[in-house]
Amino acid sequence: MAVRGSRLRLYLRPDVVLINVIAWGIALVWLLPFIGLFMVSVRPYGEVIVRGWWNIAGATFTMDNYIKAWGHESYSIAQGYMNSLIVALPSTVIPIITASLAAYAFSRFSFPLKSYLFLTIILLMALPQQIVVVPLFLAMRSLGLVNTFPGIILVHSGWGMAWIIFFMKNFFDLLPREVEEAAKVDGASDFKIFYKIVLPLSLPGILSASVLQFTWVWSSFFFELIFLVDPSKWVITQRIASMKGEYLVDWGLIAAGSVFAMAVPLLVYVLLQKYYIRGFMGWTVKG
């Protein structure tokens, strides 16, 4: 009670009141674009353009924009959802498994050139995607992998590898070694120790890395622009980017498509916030 009382008194001080007003003012400004986007998405565009989305008096609310976007004849969001999932799920699972194996080796074993390899891995994290796409496109075109989901999945898997190795290595470094040594004395081989002991204990780390990798692949745009040219293969980001016509812009349709596109990462973020932030901090602060 005493603590609560003193907290309350703190909040009533004039400077602290001012701070609260500023902080919430900024939060409101930051939220405004999303409110606007949402308002535009649930109202007929004609009404919005005449009266403004901020004008709620006598507003009509409708799901028309969502229905139109979901089944859009050239940029169907439904198909985009499907394609994005087909790309994002394997592009998460494959690198998480392979990178975790490598990260474990970096964390626990000593081998030749280890520190140089690890330095290389961290350096790769800084590279822009632009540095790989030209030769990759040419090679994949000759292999018939352009415009295919396996092709883009390979690209995402390889591209995500570096940061996941880095992240998981830091995670493994924090696991107690005694448990693995106990398993070693108990007769387990290195691979058995990895999948019977280390993997189950690393689930929080794996989940963090997966959550981040999945939302990044879901949100990815540049690789898709290069490797998925055929509109039927387009993922969701490509579809909403194309919804804006050159001359006539139907903001209602774009807004609804945008809400669809960000719903998945937002949902992942809200449901798995703890893991999302942990992964995010592992990606930045430790690095």
Partner 1 sequence: MGEVFLDGVVKRFGRVTAVNGVTLRIRDGEFFVLLGPSGCGKTTTLRLIAGLEFPDEGRIYIDGEDVTYKDPKDRNVAMVFQNYALYPHMTVFDNIAFPLYMRRRELGLTKEEIRKRVVEVARLLRIDDLLNRKPGQLSGGQQQRVALARALVRRPRVWLMDEPLSNLDALLRLAMRAELKKLQKDLGITTVYVTHDQAEAMSMADRIAVMNEGRVVQVGSPEDVYLEPRHVFVATFIGAPPMNLIECKIVEGVGPNPALECPGFTRPLPGDAARVVEARGIKSVYLGVRPEFIAISKAETPGSIPGIVYVVEPLGSEHVVNVNIGEDTILKVKVLGLREKLRPGDKVYLNIDWSKVKIFDKATGEVLA
Partner 2 sequence: MGRRRTSLTPILFIIPAFLFILTIVIGPSLATVYMSFSVEGKLTLEKYFEVVTETSPKKALVLLPEGLEPPPWGALVHNIVWMAIHIPLVTLLGLFLAYILRYTIGSSIVKAIIFIGMVIPMVVGGLIIRFMFDKDVGVVPIVFDVLGLESLAKTWTSYPQLSLLALILGSVWLWTGFSLTVYSAALHAIPASYIEAARIDGAGHWHIFWKIVFPLVKPATIIVVIMTMLWDLKIFDIVYVATLGGPGGSSNVLALVMYLYMARAIDYNAAAVVAVILTLLTIPPGLWLALRGVRSGR
Give contact residues for partner 1 (rule: CB under 8 A).
176, 178-179, 181-189, 192, 196-197, 200-201
Q: Which does 92 bind (CB under 5 to 8 A by kind): partner 2, partner 1, none?
A: none
Q: Which does 171 bind (CB under 5 to 8 A by kind): partner 2, partner 1, none?
A: none
User: Using only C-alpha atoms, what is the Rg of the chain?
Assistant: 24
To partner 1, the closest distance from the beta carbon of 201 in angstroms equals 6
Site pattern 44..83 for partner 2 (x: CB under 8 A): ----xx--xxx-----------------------------
Quick one: which of 63, 67, 82, 131 contacts partner 2 (CB under 8 A)? 131
194 and 129 in contact (C-beta within 8 Å)? no
The span of 55-63, 174-182, 200-208, 212-220 binding partner 2 (CB under 8 A) equals 212-220
Q: By C-beta, is 197 or 240 nearer to partner 2? A: 240
Q: Which does 58 bind (CB under 5 to 8 A by kind): partner 1, partner 2, none?
A: none
To partner 2, the closest distance from the beta carbon of 211 in angstroms equals 10
Q: What is the C-alpha to C-alpha distance for residues 137 and 129, in angstroms, rounded to an integer?
A: 12
Q: By C-beta, is 57 or 126 nearer to partner 2? A: 126
